């Protein structure tokens, strides 16, 4: 028993050093060498500082911007330090109420648009930080954004189509548009 | 939609293609034969033994093996507990996070030592980088290696004759970690970083929002703080070791933990990789690979239909939202379906596949919020856990669990024809069956007893967040998860409180060690027995008949035990959902 305890303790310390210190340090070293951009959070920087992360969504509510998905994080939407889903059940009346409110908000911002609203635009994501919307959700907003910016609708539509990321190798995941990338491109097109 | 099914098909194809090569490699590791990495890792291995005073060829009885295992696991619990309680005084804490409460520290320590990785906290706002690395990452390796060691010992018990010993725990532990978990983790971690999963010791980064917003109180918010950390190294082993504990609170739904569809595919593959390959390893170890393939077929027989059900249920969407006129149809422009609690980049199929995979294996990581799944979509992961984590299950632990069901199957078959049951030539007698009954019955007892307790007291009901039957489902899911060492959650339930931290902590402890000890006792008992040669009346255990019989045992026990409870939760909720 005592011998077992001694062996257990020494092995525990050694394996802890190996898997808890050497291994993460090795990965960090190689990662920083090979993929510094990805390892550091895929940050987008400009002359003015850090604009955001390619992978972390931001809240948008100005009609001149494309809006991302609703976010369930608190106390403010897209709080990256407190990622969270709504965890509302499909049968929870609070979910239907929230969706109804979001529909009203989207319709009010674009009264002439009568097409059905894509589901991802009125539901919260798992992380509350989803950087993407579906191509359908981006195309849905083209007219509103074009009008708010005084841009040609076709030009905005073309911009959205350029920003569509297809499934990886045509096989993995879903087609999507990065909301932050799209809005940055919009600002470049017409500030 | 078609593309989504292709991804699912590809998942199974790649997984099955890897079973034989990896399984063969792991068999070499457990047999102590040269496996190809000896030149690099051999000196490390021998160095570890020398420093710790381990004699490689020293064999242990099942009791010595069990004592070593329990002592080693106890150390793990104590260290993780201590690291959390003193993290504010320790280095590598750039966000200057405080110490955790005693009940949370207990729950988390038990959770990671038992390979459950239930998380009552959010990593980014609760645990220092040091606690994550030296506490949790270490346990991700060691708890997985513990389960793998037990399987190796059980396999030895089945093939050895008239001996008292079942191997050396220290050697099994070190070899599992060094030759299997560590090399695979290094490869996977780097692949994940290439996709955008973060790996840095830098503190969180503050950025300026393009379109400032307001918080709940109406004050302006103009910045966003982006959490970072050494995540990829932990996530690789979290998946490979069927651990599942996320670096960030929302686990693999977090874009910095699971950045792209490709990182998602790699992670979901990594969850089932070792449990699937272990079937082949087992076959090699007992000298008949057909036995291993039969067990893998048993798993797939139960698993594949449930994957299909989960995807279909989620793709169908939420009828309550359809009434509001939103578009839930799948097309090339959108995934459609029930998108509440799911990420656009993964879409429906990859999210539902993950839910089934993570609960079939005792992984528990999530890339979508199971609480917001449709009732039937949420029933699948809940039931997969309740089946006892034997359909793939944890690394090692899933397979030894399924082997116990296989013993039950030969026992029942033996009763039918009036013959002493045998498995691999070993007579299965009342001692083994009593222990097998313990292994099969303890988890349901913990799950149902714990659920009954939680819904009976105010402390258990106070933090339920959804109304109606779904509220009951949240509690049942939590106990099913802890009581089978899975770790996934219907995350709306508030669990970081003394009641749930204690109850779920106890559930995890019981379901881990009260299963490991009987399994090792069975291994010890079988090792002592002589092998009887197969005769005309022997039930072969690699045939479709036996595969069907074992699967039937799993499903029967799972259905008889849990259908009444499921009827009160997801089933009645489904009826409510489709009623209008």
Residue B328's closest CA among A141, A119, A137, A126? A119
Rg (CA), chain A: 22
Cβ pair B375:A91 closer than 8 A: yes
The beta strand positions in B381-488, using DSSP E, are: 422-423, 426-427
In a domain, B281, yes or no: yes
* Interchain CB contact of A63 with B (< 8 Å): no
Which burial class, exposed, middle or buried, applies to B93 when counting CB atoms under 10 A from its CB (0-12, 13-18, 19+)?
middle
* Interchain CB contact of A136 with B (< 8 Å): yes
B 117-146 near A (Cβ less than 8 A): 122, 124-125, 133-135, 137-138, 140-142
* Interchain CB contact of B467 with A (< 8 Å): yes
In a domain, B212, yes or no: no
Q: Model confidence over B472-508: pLDDT tens digits?
A: 999 999 999 999 999 999 999 999 999 999 999 999 9
DSSP state of B199: B
Q: Model confidence over B215-268: pLDDT tens digits?
A: 988 899 999 999 999 999 999 999 999 999 999 999 999 999 999 999 999 999
**Å between B30 CA and nearest CA of chain A:** 18
Contacts of B72 in chain A (CB under 8 A): 8, 11-12
Q: Which of B177, B204, B260 sits opposite A168 (nearest CB)?
A: B260
Which of A47, A63, A79, A90 is most worth mutating to test chain B (most B CB atoms within 10 A of its CB)? A90
ipTM for this prediction: 0.96
By C-alpha distance, the chain B residue nearest A118 is B327
What is the band of B124 on the pLDDT scale with cuts at 50, 70, 90?
Answer: confident
In a domain, B175, yes or no: yes
**Å between B322 CA and nearest CA of chain A:** 9
In B317-371, alpha helices (H): 319-322, 347-360
pLDDT of residue A41: 95
**Å between B416 CA and nearest CA of chain A:** 45
The domain of B256 spans: 2-206+225-579
Cβ pair B344:A53 closer than 8 A: no
Whether the CB-CB separation of A71 and A156 falls below 8 Å is answered with no
List the domain boundaries for chain A: 2-36, 43-189
Q: Which of B10, B221, B333 sits opposite A175 (nearest CB)?
A: B333
**Å between A152 CA and nearest CA of chain B:** 22
Which uninterrupted H or E stretch holds B82?
helix B62-85
Contacts of A66 in chain B (CB under 8 A): none
Contacts of B204 in chain A (CB under 8 A): 81
**Å between B573 CA and nearest CA of chain A:** 7
Widest CA span in chain A:
80
Q: What share of chain A is helix, strand, coil (3-state, %, to 5)?
A: 50, 10, 40
Which of A130, A132, A172 is most worth mutating to test chain B (most B CB atoms within 10 A of its CB)? A172
pLDDT of residue A191: 73
Q: Model confidence over B255-305: pLDDT tens digits?
A: 999 999 999 999 999 999 999 999 999 999 999 999 999 999 999 999 999
- Cβ neighbours for B351, distance < 8 A, ≥ 6 positions apart: A126, B314, B342, B343, B367, B368
Q: What is the average per-residue pLDDT within B196-219?
A: 93
* Interchain CB contact of B79 with A (< 8 Å): yes
pLDDT of residue B2: 62
**Å between A191 CA and nearest CA of chain B:** 12
Size of interface A-B (CB pairs under 8 A): 408
Percent of chain B with pLDDT over 90: 94
Domain count, chain B: 1
Cβ pair B72:A12 closer than 8 A: yes
What is the band of A62 on the pLDDT scale with cuts at 50, 70, 90?
Answer: very high
pLDDT of residue B501: 97
What is the band of B321 on the pLDDT scale with cuts at 50, 70, 90?
Answer: very high
Long-range residue pairs from A22-25, CB within 8 A, at least 24 positions apart, any chain: A23/B137, A23/B182, A23/B185, A23/B186, A23/B233, A24/B133, A24/B137, A24/B230, A24/B233, A24/B234
* Interchain CB contact of A28 with B (< 8 Å): yes
B109-139 as b/e, with b when 16 or more CB fall inside 10 Å? bbbbbbbbbbbbbbbbebbbbbbbbbbbbbb
Whether the CB-CB separation of B495 and B463 falls below 8 Å is answered with yes
In a domain, B73, yes or no: yes
Contacts of A188 in chain B (CB under 8 A): none
Q: Which of B233, B371, B577 sits opposite A24 (nearest CB)?
A: B233
């Amino acid at each position: 028993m005592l011998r077992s305890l001694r062996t257990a303790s020494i092995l525990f310390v050694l394996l802890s050093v190996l898997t808890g210190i050497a291994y993460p340090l090795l990965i960090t070293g190689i990662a920083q060498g090979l993929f510094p951009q990805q390892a550091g959070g895929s940050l987008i920087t400009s002359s003015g500082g850090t604009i955001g992360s390619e992978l972390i969504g931001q809240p948008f509510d100005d009609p001149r911007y494309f809006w991302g998905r609703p976010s369930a994080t608190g106390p403010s939407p897209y709080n990256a330090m407190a990622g969270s889903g709504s965890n509302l059940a499909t049968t929870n009346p609070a979910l239907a109420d929230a969706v109804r409110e979001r529909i009203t908000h989207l319709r009010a911002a674009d009264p002439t648009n009568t097409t059905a609203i894509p589901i991802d635009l009125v539901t919260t994501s798992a992380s509350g930080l989803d950087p993407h919307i579906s191509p359908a959700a981006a195309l849905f907003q083209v007219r509103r954004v074009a009008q708010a910016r005084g841009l040609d609708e076709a030009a905005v539509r073309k911009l959205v189509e350029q920003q569509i990321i297809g499934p990886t190798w045509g096989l993995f995941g879903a087609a999507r548009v990065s909301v932050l990338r799209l809005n940055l491109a919009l600002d470049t097109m017409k500030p | 939609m078609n593309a989504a099914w292709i991804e699912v098909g590809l998942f199974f194809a790649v997984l099955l293609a890897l079973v034989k090569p990896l399984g063969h490699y792991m068999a070499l590791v457990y047999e102590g034969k040269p496996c190809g990495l000896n030149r690099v890792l051999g000196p490390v291995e021998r160095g570890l033994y020398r420093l710790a005073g381990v004699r490689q060829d020293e064999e242990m009885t099942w009791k010595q093996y069990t004592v070593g295992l329990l002592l080693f696991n106890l150390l793990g619990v104590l260290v993780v507990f201590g690291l959390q309680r003193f993290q504010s005084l320790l280095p590598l804490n750039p966000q200057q996070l405080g110490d955790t409460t005693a009940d949370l520290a207990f729950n988390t320590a038990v959770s990671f030592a038992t390979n459950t990785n239930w998380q009552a906290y959010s990593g980014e706002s609760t645990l220092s980088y040091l606690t994550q690395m030296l506490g949790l990452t270490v346990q991700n390796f060691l708890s997985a290696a513990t389960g793998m060691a037990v399987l190796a010992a059980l396999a030895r018990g089945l093939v050895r004759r008239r001996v008292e010993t079942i191997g050396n725990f220290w050697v099994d532990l070190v070899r599992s970690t060094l030759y299997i978990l560590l090399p695979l983790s290094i490869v996977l971690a780097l692949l994940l970083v290439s996709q955008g999963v973060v790996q840095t010791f830098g503190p969180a980064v503050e950025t300026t929002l393009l379109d400032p917003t307001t918080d709940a109180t109406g004050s302006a918010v103009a910045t966003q703080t982006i959490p970072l950390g050494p995540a990829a190294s932990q996530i690789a082993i979290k998946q490979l070791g069927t651990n599942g504990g996320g670096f960030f609170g929302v686990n693999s739904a977090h874009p910095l933990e699971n950045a792209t569809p490709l990182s998602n595919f790699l992670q979901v593959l990594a969850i089932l990789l070792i449990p699937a390959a272990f079937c082949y390893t087992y076959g090699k170890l007992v000298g008949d690979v057909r036995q291993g393939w039969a067990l893998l077929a048993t798993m797939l027989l139960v698993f594949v239909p449930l994957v299909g059900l989960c995807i279909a249920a989620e793709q169908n969407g939420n009828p309550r939202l359809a009434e509001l006129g939103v578009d839930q149809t799948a097309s090339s422009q959108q995934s459609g379906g029930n998108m509440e609690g799911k990420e656009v980049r993964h879409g429906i199929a990859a999210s539902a596949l993950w839910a089934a995979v993570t609960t079939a294996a005792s992984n528990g990581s999530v890339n979508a919020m199971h609480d917001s799944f449709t009732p039937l979509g949420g029933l699948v992961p809940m039931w997969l856990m309740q089946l006892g984590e034997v359909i793939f299950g944890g690394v090692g632990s899933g397979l030894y669990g399924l082997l116990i069901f296989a013993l039950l199957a030969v026992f029942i078959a033996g009763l039918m024809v009036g013959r002493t049951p045998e498995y691999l030539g070993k007579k299965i007698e009342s001692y083994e069956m009593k222990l097998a009954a313990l292994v099969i019955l303890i988890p349901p007892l913990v799950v149902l007893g714990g659920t009954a307790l939680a819904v009976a007291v105010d402390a258990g009901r106070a933090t339920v967040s959804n109304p109606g039957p779904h509220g009951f489902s949240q509690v049942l899911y939590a106990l099913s998860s802890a009581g089978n060492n899975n770790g996934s959650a219907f995350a709306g339930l508030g669990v970081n409180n003394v009641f749930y931290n204690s109850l779920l902590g106890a559930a995890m402890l019981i379901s881990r060690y009260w299963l490991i000890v009987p399994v090792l006792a069975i291994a010890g008992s079988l090792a002592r027995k002589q092998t009887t040669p197969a005769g005309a009346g022997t039930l072969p255990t690699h045939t479709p008949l036996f595969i069907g019989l074992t699967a039937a045992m799993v499903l029967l026990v799972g259905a008889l035990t849990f259908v009444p409870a499921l009827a009160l939760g997801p089933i009645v909720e489904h009826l409510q959902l489709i009623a209008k």
